[in-house]
């Protein structure tokens, strides 16, 4: 999915149980291409199509939450085509027992679990935006993300990590919010320790979704 048109291309991998529509405050003067995160776990086809379509272009890669692991892996594989890598609201890794517990809660009551999860995502400066999300996207997401698809993401998270990353000459930024309850900002420093020459950016009063404000996009694009 492409939003806006300009010469600078930013590819975004959304987080678990989200799609491109959650990024409703994109700046108007940039080009954003969204890749389905669940599909990207199993296939590079969508990303390779972009490489073929824009043969002479370099990309910025942004991965948010679960999407950060996928963005980092693609940056490793295609480092010569990546100008900037931005990892947003990510944990160094997830405990398998924690993910097993999430699966059980999903199986027991998917609606209640996702409602609680989404509310937790809208922390910090974004807390007042939850009502808009619930009115416009919540029901769509319940239909879009089957329990099977959600479990695929959880299985991926159980083995995902950043220990293998060596982005070389890629400018790498680790972004986290001080009020993130899902991926506390301490995790950003753990990740940066594994990525040579990365820069850690801690955003005050931001939660798991620090990308609604103009400040975020000015920093990373």
Nearest partner of 40 among 13, 9, 61, judged by Cα: 13
How confident is the model over 55-106, as pLDDT tens digits? 878 899 999 999 999 999 999 899 999 999 999 999 999 999 999 999 999 9
Give the whole-angstrom CA distance, residue 85 versus residue 167.
Answer: 9
Report helix angle 66-77 to 147-157, nearest 10.
60
The number of domains in the chain is 1
How confident is the model over 105-159, as pLDDT tens digits? 999 999 999 999 999 999 999 999 999 999 999 999 999 999 999 999 999 999 9
Domain residues for the domain of 164 are 2-220
Give the whole-angstrom CA distance, residue 57 versus residue 77.
Answer: 16
The CATH number assigned to the domain holding 78 equals: 3.40.50.1820
The answer to pTM > 0.75 is yes
Nearest partner of 169 among 73, 102, 90, 76, judged by Cα: 76
């Amino acid at each position: 999915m492409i939003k806006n048109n300009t010469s600078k291309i930013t590819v975004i991998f959304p987080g678990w149980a989200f799609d491109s529509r959650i990024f409703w405050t994109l700046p108007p003067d940039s080009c954003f291409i969204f890749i389905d995160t669940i599909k990207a776990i199993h296939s590079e086809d969508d990303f390779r199509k972009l490489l073929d379509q824009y043969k002479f272009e370099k990309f910025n890669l942004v991965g948010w939450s679960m999407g950060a692991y996928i963005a980092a892996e693609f940056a490793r594989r295609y480092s010569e085509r990546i100008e900037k890598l931005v990892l947003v609201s990510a944990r160094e890794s997830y405990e398998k027992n924690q993910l097993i517990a999430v699966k059980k809660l999903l199986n027991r009551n998917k609606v209640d679990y996702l409602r609680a999860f989404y509310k937790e995502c809208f922390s910090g400066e974004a807390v007042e935006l939850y009502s808009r999300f619930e009115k416009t996207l919540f029901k769509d997401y319940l239909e879009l993300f089957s329990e099977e698809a959600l479990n695929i993401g959880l299985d991926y998270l159980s083995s995902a990590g950043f220990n293998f990353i060596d982005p070389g000459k890629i400018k790498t930024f680790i972004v986290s919010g001080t009020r993130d309850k899902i991926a506390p900002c301490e995790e950003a420093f753990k990740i940066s320790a594994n990525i040579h020459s990365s820069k850690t950016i801690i955003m005050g009063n931001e939660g798991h979704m620090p990308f609604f404000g103009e400040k975020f996009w000015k920093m990373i694009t």
